[in-house]
């Protein structure tokens, strides 16, 4: 066996000394400029990193090991170069991806809702010639106020259930609320018939009016606008034909049947839609629980006391808003009999404008959310939100005024109604009421429900107390109400916390 001769001690010592000298030179020398290139390569990770470990993980995921960074950059390990990159690159966190706009809705839907709100007024115009006698106005006012209040409370509870994702439970609540609301309307009509002599056709019309309002509420909450159009079809078509033909006596009974068909259809379609199919998933879970012998949990209450308490402001606002709109009709014009032409001329535009109001609410929501994302100064946000509030209100005023002009022209050319210039003050008062309702709905959409209710109730109380001033008192009260609500809205809606949800 041939023995291997080890290297000469002098040569070995010479190489080791050379390596040690190179290591010392590398430690003392500045880091290579290639680190800057590495920082540029991982700039997105470095700018968003909150700790060097995130950069180290990205380097290792890209294939950089301790040996590779030691050989390329002269550092001990990956974490060391990650710390260096963390120090060199300033923090500029990437903006999170923009969330989908929850307020992006079709422009057609608010217009459809406006038609649904406005077309029933044609039925009132036709029925005004068919309904006569003592107690007619009282019955109509009580039916409107009762159904408005009950429908607003029912809509609130239904939307709350839908907001929780409980579609089946929302249908059951709406069905039960529809039955309770019908009972309330019947009791109100019975009370009026006992207090005031009422003709049977008038009593039935008031009952049908309240029933239609409740059925329409259920269909709108469940998004069944097409079914509501079907329910309105006989009453609206019959009324239009009756008015165009000049209210002939031989069409009175057919029109009465057509008007009666609308609330019956609305109730039937609302019950059918609210009944709906049984939730298959819930039914499957109950079947599995029965087969497995698991004790059945006690069923949850259909409506909690908290829901009823929370619905009271909405029901109260519907009642008070209805009072503000109906009161000028109930008072009438001093020295004249019948309903004021100004009230009739502006009732249809106001009803149609509710579709525009719905769109303006969505427009305001979308723009304030965008402002909230792009503004970092609270004072600038408050200023921008208030400017958008005034812009939305101005748009609503313009749309309502254009609708009033269009309706007035159509009514005048068809001979259905002639509005004299003396009705302009009452039209102005109604316009102020419409703007007040718009601002109130805007405040309610941002969780402020008590103040609009109190303000509108106070305005109605003043109108009743100073009814002897007639239209001039209405202008003063309605304008004051609008000013108060707008001032309050500028304070509330200027706070960023109101727009955080």
Both 63 and 138 in one domain: the answer is: no
For the stretch 321-339, pLDDT in tens is 888 888 776 665 444 444 4
Both 278 and 388 in one domain: the answer is: no
For the stretch 279-319, pLDDT in tens is 554 555 555 555 555 444 444 567 777 878 888 888 899 88
What is the distance between the terminal CA atoms of the chain, rounded to a whole angstrom?
Answer: 88
Q: How many CA atoms lie within 13 A of 463 on its CB side?
A: 29
Contact yes or no for 210/322 (Cβ under 8 A): no
Q: pTM value?
A: 0.72
Residues spanned by the domain of 79: 28-88
Both 268 and 350 in one domain: the answer is: no
Both 219 and 170 in one domain: the answer is: yes
Domain count, the chain: 3
In a domain, 100, yes or no: no
For the stretch 196-245, pLDDT in tens is 888 888 888 889 989 999 999 999 999 888 999 999 999 989 888 888 88
Domain end point (choices 283, 312, 328): 283
Contact yes or no for 417/344 (Cβ under 8 A): yes
Compute the distance between CA of residue 154 and CA of residue 148 in angstroms, rounded to an integer: 10
For the stretch 423-479, pLDDT in tens is 677 788 888 888 999 999 999 888 888 999 999 999 999 988 887 777 788 889 999
Helices 108-118 and 225-244: angle between axes, nearest 10 degrees? 50
Structure tokens at 304: 């909690």
User: From the CB of residue 373, how many other CB atoms can be counted at a distance below 10 Å?
Assistant: 11
Structure tokens at 176: 């039960």
Average per-residue pLDDT for the chain:
79
Both 148 and 57 in one domain: the answer is: no
Structure tokens at 297: 């949990």
């Amino acid at each position: 066996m041939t023995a291997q001769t080890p290297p000469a001690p002098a040569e070995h010592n010479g190489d080791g000394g050379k390596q040690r000298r190179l290591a010392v030179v590398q430690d003392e020398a500045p880091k290579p400029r290639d680190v800057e290139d590495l920082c540029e390569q991982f700039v997105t990770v470095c700018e968003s990193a909150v700790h060097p470990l995130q950069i180290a993980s990205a380097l290792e995921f890209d294939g950089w090991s301790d040996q590779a960074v030691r050989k390329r950059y002269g550092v001990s390990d990956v974490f060391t170069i990650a710390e260096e990159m963390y120090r060199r690159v300033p923090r500029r966190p990437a903006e999170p991806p923009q969330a989908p706009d929850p307020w992006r809705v079709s422009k057609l839907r608010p217009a459809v809702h406006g038609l649904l709100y406005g077309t029933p007024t044609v039925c009132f115009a036709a029925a005004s010639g068919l309904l006569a006698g003592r107690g007619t106005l009282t019955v109509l006012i009580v039916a409107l106020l009762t159904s408005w209040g009950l429908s607003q409370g029912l809509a609130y509870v239904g939307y709350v259930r839908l907001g929780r994702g409980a579609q089946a439970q929302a249908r059951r609540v709406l069905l039960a609320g529809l039955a309770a609301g019908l009972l309330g309307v019947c009791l109100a009509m019975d009370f009026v018939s006992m207090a005031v002599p009422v003709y049977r056709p008038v009593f039935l019309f008031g009952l049908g009016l309240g029933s239609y309002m409740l059925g329409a509420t259920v269909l709108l909450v469940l998004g069944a606008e097409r079914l509501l159009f079907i329910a309105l079809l006989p009453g609206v078509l019959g009324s239009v034909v009756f008015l165009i033909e000049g209210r002939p006596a031989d069409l009175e009974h057919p029109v009465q049947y057509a008007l009666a068909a609308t609330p019956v259809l609305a109730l039937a379609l609302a019950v059918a839609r609210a009944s709906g199919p049984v939730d298959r998933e819930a039914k499957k879970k109950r079947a599995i629980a029965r087969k497995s012998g698991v004790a059945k949990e006690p069923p949850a209450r259909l409506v909690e006391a908290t829901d009823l308490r929370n619905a009271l402001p909405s029901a109260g606002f519907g009642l008070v808003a209805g009072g503000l709109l109906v009161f000028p009709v109930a008072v009438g014009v001093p020295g004249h009999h019948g309903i004021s032409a100004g009230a009739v001329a502006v009732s249809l535009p106001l009803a149609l404008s509710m579709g525009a109001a719905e769109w303006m609410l969505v427009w305001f929501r979308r723009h304030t959310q965008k402002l909230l994302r792009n503004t970092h100064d609270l004072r600038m946000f408050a200023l921008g939100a208030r400017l958008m509030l005034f812009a939305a209100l101005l748009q609503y005023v313009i749309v309502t005024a254009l609708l009033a002009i269009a309706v007035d022209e159509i009514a005048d050319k068809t001979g259905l109604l002639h509005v004299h210039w003396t009705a302009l003050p009452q039209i102005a008062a109604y316009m102020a009421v419409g703007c007040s309702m718009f601002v109130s709905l805007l405040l309610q959409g941002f969780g402020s429900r008590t103040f609009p209710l109190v303000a509108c109730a106070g305005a109605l109380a003043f109108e009743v107390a100073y009814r002897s001033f007639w239209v001039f008192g209405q202008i003063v009260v309605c304008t004051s109400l609008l000013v108060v609500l707008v001032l309050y809205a500028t304070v509330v809606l200027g706070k960023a916390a109101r727009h955080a949800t």
